[in-house]
Structure 1
Amino acid sequence: MSTSSDRYQQSPQIYRFKLCQNQEDFAHISILIYNIRTLQELKQRIIAEYGLTSSRIRLLKYSEPTQRWLSLPDSDQNLEIRYLNIANNDYISYIELKNRQYAYVNSLSNGHYYPRGTTSIIERKAPVTSTQTLKLFETPNLNAKHYFLDDLLFQTTTIKLIKQKAAEQIQIPYINQKTNLFVYDDKNTKWTKYDHILDDCTLEELDIKNCTAISIKIDKDIADDDGDNGVTAADRHKKVKRELGICGLKNMGSTCYMNSALQCLNSIPQLIKFYETLEDDHADDHPVSDVYSKLIKRMWSESDQSSCITPRQLKAVVDKIAPVFSDHRPKDSHEFINFFLHALQQEQPVLINKLFYGQISSTVTCLDCKSKESRQELISFLPLPIENKTQIQIHYIQYNGKEEQLSLELSVKYRTTVLDLIKCFIHKYVPNLNKNQIKPVRLNEDQISSEYKLTNYLTTLYDNRIALFQLPSIDEEEEHMLCLFVNYSTQCQFRPPVYLIKPKYNCRSSDLREQLNSIIQHLKTTINDENMKYEVSWTTIDRQRQNLNINDNDNQILSTIRAVTISLKQSYVEIYKSKQTKVATIMQSKYLTLEKLLGNFFLEDILDGKYYCSECRQMTQGKQKSDLCRPLPTIFIIQLKRFPYDKYSNEKIDTFIEYPIENLNLYDYLIKTDEIVINDDDSQSSRYNLISISNHYGKTLSSGHYITYAKNYQTQRWYSFNDDYSREIASDKQTLITQDAYILIYMKQNADYKT
């Protein structure tokens, strides 16, 4: 949190925002603006960019963790951009206001969150300061049991407060961002759903009048909602009753690092079982254990069904012992876990040592006398360095129709451009081409949604992905033209287009014949059918489509040609897409793996500089080797060192690391000497399974956010914990292996849950 004195100490910076006109997709333009400019000035830039007729807009930003568009604060138009809830390289958008302002709404018939870009507009009315009463129904059904909600409600009362009061009245849990408000529209005789994006709006702004019928509903119940037909409050309470241990933690001001760390530890059964049974009243001699035990008991209580707990007591004790955590500034989740385990170790050494602490042996061998010197160090985690490189996923489309999914690893700095990427791509994959034969674009559902300039920074790439088109060489009398591939039944493109060459003037079918035949042959070969049926057409400048005959005996005049389209029937399209998917899977480059990082860490290497050899009694050169010692700890924590901590950069290394969910084998990294015999027990006791992940979202430690993925040891299901918001997630690799993984916590496969 910034103080007033901080505002004068921070130097102005240029922010780049990815401005989307439509929230349905991510086609955008980049705008640059100083972060000391105001909210009003940013709005004026956007209005000027799109030539908007309305001078009143409200800004939105896209949240990667929640994958939703969120409304930005709008009360202070003179607030500087750097104090808004947006960061450099964020996706932003806008909504135009009628008269005063509007908000998103969504009909109950839609059944889900509003689609991006699909909005209705509600005008704000004149303010009313009198109190009012709302008729609260247990379900969105006028036949359901109802109450009167009149606890000091004003026209200025926010929707979030209304939902909280309603949840308390009908005795169901309030879940932040999951509890939706439903308002009955008398005129249209239907219920209208208001998503969490409206939480900061007021009754006045949404024109909710006195005695209006309302209801609330947890989002996960919406899927089976057709009116609820007599479901009682008790039934609804049972429906949303949380699993033991699945409990959010309230963010008390930049404390997501602590919440993430605590949720990671909450996946360790031995730790939970011990502190669940720890007797109270140890605050004097064991203050950390005392408050941690109380927190664990609440999170795993059958009687306390709170969906979210504020760990205020634990935070107060931590602040007292370690003041570095007391200033409410963003911190490192790994730093907190390290401190917290050390604090618990001081109070419960036997338990914590057995669970978390192991030893690592470092052996230095003198290159002159071959003598060895070893020392052991106690560790509670293994820090693995990551080379500061970014994996760029490249979809390469050749002009003959062939496609390849490739990967390029390169160091991406703030001023690294698309041209730098193209040069590296040419050097590695297509050395016979030059930069003028590569066109960089962004694809969306096989269509070109936007084109990148060579001067665009790579930081503007969405999800580190880019499509590169090979362009055939042309002379001054020629130009490029698109050839599209369309499903004959749906008229939708089923693959990316390619670029053809055509004369600038007086184009004929003979000018395209050889190119099109080559592309059609590619389609036949991929589908494995030389008798494949197809249709070829050309589109005029005024978008009229006409048949194109590419037979040798015809030389059609195409003077107004704009594009060519090749159409295939549905069965051919399905075969082609299935074959291309297999090719993409085979050709995709392998990510950097955790196994490789471990191998690099334990690799014997020559020491930088000289060291003092006690046998030679002089400074000499040596080589160093690290190994894990027996016994391995029950819990093995790995830190992926994504933050370089150097004076030149504090940006996160966002390289994708592939790590195993099951069967992480540390057998190869155990110390091997003549005195120690490796046996089968070592192989079995060195295998681990993943139980939790602390994900860091953002570019730096000081501007990021933490979300934990953790496995509940009782249900064996995985959950996402985003501060006070928790939800079940899939247990597959696509979900659990993320580019933002920072802390990995593994548990031995043969671990005893008993303490």
Structure 2
Amino acid sequence: MRQNIFTNNQRPPSTIKDKTQQQVLPNYPLLLNKTQSTPTQEIKSNYPFSSYGTSTLNTQSQQTSAIEYYNQKQYPSQINYQQQQSGMTTSLSTTQKTPSTISTMTQSQPEQYQQKSMINVSKGICGLRNIGNTCFMNSVLQCLLNVPAFNEHFLNGDYLKDLNSKNSSVPNEYSKLVATIRNTPNFQSIAPYGIKSAVEIVMPCFKGYAQQDAQEFLVGLLDGLSLGLNRVKNKPFYKEMNDNLNGRTLQDLSKEWWDYSKSRENSLVLDYFQGQLLHSIKCCICSNSSYAFDTFQDTSLAFTRAFKILEDMDLDRLLDKYVIEETIDDYYCSKCKKHQKVKRKFTIWRLPHILMFHIKRFDYRRFSSDKLNHRVKFPLELDMTKFIQDSLDQSTKNCQYSLCGIVNHSGTLYGGHYTADSKNPYNQKWYRYNDSDVREIDIKQQRYDTDGSSSPYILFYARKSLY
């Protein structure tokens, strides 16, 4: 498989089983909320999501309903929510879709799977406790948990049809986290132990409680979800793709590479987050051209490419410089059979439903490293039209996106803190998540589109059609 040009991370190998193995939820202790207890206090409970340390249930009827819910020994998404009568399970039933609704969902068309019900307008506004230098994880999760449409697949059990038993830990823990968040009283907090442990299995580098990078965790989390939900049961052997057009169009070549990629990995995660990039190189001596179509999930934008290092800038300029043609003085030409000067260009060929921009603030050099605190301006509404003008793919006809999440970093390369600004997909209000603390903010007063900020590290944009 060709290396991901955007993140320089290869996806892990996938092992698929034909049948889904269902697991029984552990009975972990239920933690009291922070206003009622000290860190050492805990109570025993049969609440099914107690591995996340949910705050105390408000009423006796809610406690009884939760216990009955757990006794069915199923995952939250496997329950028929509409059979529940009260308490926490009542709110779960509001998101249940009928089989006919689910059947209309086709691969790579998540906008058909919109959650239009406004019954949940007050749900999902929940903090995540810092369980030991885990602000990097909490900030990423808060943005992902508020991505429109995507999380409904985990809440109602749609993801289970693709689940493979050997790699099920990350999808199952994420499903439990989504359900817990939706059923925790607003502005309280939970402890995300389960999802951290699951990601550690896929990415052992996240074991322990050292400071980590938020973008690397995002890649690991999405890899773990995609690995456990890969629809491919028999992966074909790897082969080198032919970049010679031989009378074919670029659109034909794009489809061939895209279909091959899907033949090896095809998941719910990729339906939402995967796009395609054209990498073209033209020799300045013989004019020979070569092409490569690579998939991507997040786009890394660097300050140092074609910029003065001290400049502040905006997202449009960063994207302009990313796709601009550049000259490389020493590149091997397969036709000339020697190194020549070439022109290289990136073209965004297929747009994903969720765009993620990683702003490379950490500058690593041979003798010194530092954080780049440049202010970046970015819009609340993003039109990608001018960045995909060379593409002929149908996905580029829908280029209108809305900002839905920001992972912020404050501090230095050697010590800092992550927070998140995220838009609730139901009430369309913005909230600032600082671990356990959650408060509503006026996103327009932040003046991100006019004054910019030196804090944004990852930007999440969702297609408007998902709302």
**Length-normalised TM-score, structure 1:** 0.39
Aligned partners of 1:283 and 1:291 also within 8 Å: no
Q: Using a 3 Å threshold, how does the CA distance of structure 1 residues 623 and 320 change in structure 2: closer, same or farther?
A: same
String of CA shifts for 1:401-450, please: whole Å, max 9, x gaps.
Answer: xxxxxxxx874xxxxxxxxxxxxxxxxxxxxxxxxxxxxxxxxxxxxxxx
Q: What is the Cα deviation at residue 163 of structure 1?
A: 5.6
Q: What is the Cα deviation at residue 253 of structure 1?
A: 0.6
What is residue 453 of structure 2 aligned with on the other side? Answer: 738
CA RMSD of aligned residues (A): 3.1
Matched, 1:256 2:135: yes
Whole-Å Cα distance in 2 between the matches of residues 410 and 627 of structure 1? 25
Matched, 1:610 2:330: yes
Q: What is the Cα deviation at residue 347 of structure 1?
A: 1.9
What is residue 298 of structure 1 aligned with on the other side? Answer: 180
Aligned partners of 1:298 and 1:304 also within 8 Å: no
* Residues 38-437 of structure 1: pairs in structure 2 closer than 5 A: 164=37, 243-278=122-157, 285-301=167-183, 307-348=188-229, 349-387=266-304, 411=310
Q: Give SS of 1:624's match.
A: strand
Structure 2 portions without partners, runs of 5+: 1-32, 43-119, 230-265
Q: Give SS of 1:640's match.
A: strand
What is residue 592 of structure 1 aligned with on the other side? Answer: 313
Whole-Å Cα distance in 2 between the matches of residues 355 and 242 of structure 1? 23
Aligned partners of 1:696 and 1:707 also within 8 Å: yes
> For this pair of structures, how many residues does the alignment match?
314
Identity, % of aligned positions: 29
What is residue 207 of structure 1 aligned with on the other side? Answer: none
Q: What is the Cα deviation at residue 355 of structure 1?
A: 0.3
Q: What is the Cα deviation at residue 342 of structure 1?
A: 1.2
Aligned partners of 1:719 and 1:728 also within 8 Å: yes
Aligned partners of 1:605 and 1:623 also within 8 Å: yes
Aligned partners of 2:383 and 2:400 also within 8 Å: yes
String of CA shifts for 1:369-397, please: whole Å, max 9, x gaps.
Answer: 1121010111101100013999xxxxxxx
More helix as a share of residues = 2
What is residue 407 of structure 2 aligned with on the other side? Answer: 694
Whole-Å Cα distance in 2 between the matches of residues 741 and 305 of structure 1? 25
Residue identity in the other structure for 2:221? F
Q: Give SS of 1:338's match.
A: helix
Whole-Å Cα distance in 2 between the matches of residues 364 and 276 of structure 1? 45
Whole-Å Cα distance in 2 between the matches of residues 377 and 635 of structure 1? 17
Q: What is the Cα deviation at residue 645 of structure 1?
A: 2.0
Q: What is the Cα deviation at residue 671 of structure 1?
A: 6.0
Q: What is the Cα deviation at residue 650 of structure 1?
A: 2.5
Q: Using a 3 Å threshold, how does the CA distance of structure 1 residues 310 and 162 change in structure 2: closer, same or farther?
A: closer
What is residue 521 of structure 1 aligned with on the other side? Answer: none
Matched, 1:670 2:382: no
Larger radius of gyration: 1
* Residues 602-681 of structure 1: pairs in structure 2 closer than 5 A: 602-607=323-328, 609-630=329-350, 632-662=351-381, 664-670=382-388, 672=390, 676=392
Q: What is the Cα deviation at residue 161 of structure 1?
A: 8.2
* Residues 553-568 of structure 1: pairs in structure 2 closer than 5 A: none
Q: What is the Cα deviation at residue 364 of structure 1?
A: 0.5
Aligned partners of 1:693 and 1:709 also within 8 Å: yes
String of CA shifts for 1:643-687, please: whole Å, max 9, x gaps.
Answer: 11223333210000101111x2222222627xx4x89x845x112
Q: Using a 3 Å threshold, how does the CA distance of structure 1 residues 389 and 729 change in structure 2: closer, same or farther?
A: farther
String of CA shifts for 1:341-377, please: whole Å, max 9, x gaps.
Answer: 1111112243111100111111001101112101011
Residue identity in the other structure for 1:654? N
Whole-Å Cα distance in 1 between the matches of residues 363 and 34 of structure 2? 43
Q: Give SS of 2:363's match.
A: coil
Q: What is the Cα deviation at residue 735 of structure 1?
A: 5.2
String of CA shifts for 1:444-469, please: whole Å, max 9, x gaps.
Answer: xxxxxxxxxxxxxxxxxxxxxxxxxx
Residue identity in the other structure for 1:249? L
Aligned partners of 2:305 and 2:321 also within 8 Å: no
Residue identity in the other structure for 1:594? L
**Length-normalised TM-score, structure 2:** 0.62
Q: Using a 3 Å threshold, how does the CA distance of structure 1 residues 257 and 161 change in structure 2: closer, same or farther?
A: closer
Aligned partners of 2:164 and 2:228 also within 8 Å: no
Instruction: Name which structure has the greater RCO, CA cutoff 8 Å, separation 6+.
Output: 2
Q: Using a 3 Å threshold, how does the CA distance of structure 1 residues 380 and 366 change in structure 2: closer, same or farther?
A: same
Q: Using a 3 Å threshold, how does the CA distance of structure 1 residues 368 and 733 change in structure 2: closer, same or farther?
A: farther
Q: What is the Cα deviation at residue 265 of structure 1?
A: 0.3
Q: Using a 3 Å threshold, how does the CA distance of structure 1 residues 257 and 746 change in structure 2: closer, same or farther?
A: same
Whole-Å Cα distance in 2 between the matches of residues 733 and 599 of structure 1? 27
More strand as a share of residues = 1
Structure 1 portions without partners, runs of 5+: 1-159, 169-240, 391-408, 412-589
Q: Using a 3 Å threshold, how does the CA distance of structure 1 residues 733 and 650 change in structure 2: closer, same or farther?
A: farther
Residue identity in the other structure for 1:656? R
Residue identity in the other structure for 1:597? L
Aligned partners of 1:242 and 1:305 also within 8 Å: no
Residue identity in the other structure for 2:272? L
Aligned partners of 2:424 and 2:430 also within 8 Å: yes
String of CA shifts for 1:680-732, please: whole Å, max 9, x gaps.
Answer: x845x1121110000001111x4110000000000000000000111100020
Whole-Å Cα distance in 2 between the matches of residues 346 and 251 of structure 1? 27
Q: Using a 3 Å threshold, how does the CA distance of structure 1 residues 162 and 748 change in structure 2: closer, same or farther?
A: closer
Which of 408, 416, 421 is the aligned partner of 1:709?
421
Aligned partners of 1:688 and 1:747 also within 8 Å: yes
String of CA shifts for 1:598-631, please: whole Å, max 9, x gaps.
Answer: 1111110101x3222122222211010100113x
Whole-Å Cα distance in 2 between the matches of residues 708 and 735 of structure 1? 16
String of CA shifts for 1:305-345, please: whole Å, max 9, x gaps.
Answer: 67101011111122233221113111111000011111111
String of CA shifts for 1:83-137, please: whole Å, max 9, x gaps.
Answer: xxxxxxxxxxxxxxxxxxxxxxxxxxxxxxxxxxxxxxxxxxxxxxxxxxxxxxx
Q: What is the Cα deviation at residue 284 of structure 1?
A: 5.0
Whole-Å Cα distance in 2 between the matches of residues 294 and 371 of structure 1? 53
Q: Using a 3 Å threshold, how does the CA distance of structure 1 residues 359 and 242 change in structure 2: closer, same or farther?
A: closer
Whole-Å Cα distance in 2 between the matches of residues 716 and 709 of structure 1? 12
Whole-Å Cα distance in 1 between the matches of residues 172 and 165 of structure 2? 5
Matched, 1:747 2:462: yes
Whole-Å Cα distance in 2 between the matches of residues 321 and 601 of structure 1? 31
Aligned partners of 1:282 and 1:290 also within 8 Å: no
Q: What is the Cα deviation at residue 750 of structure 1?
A: 2.4
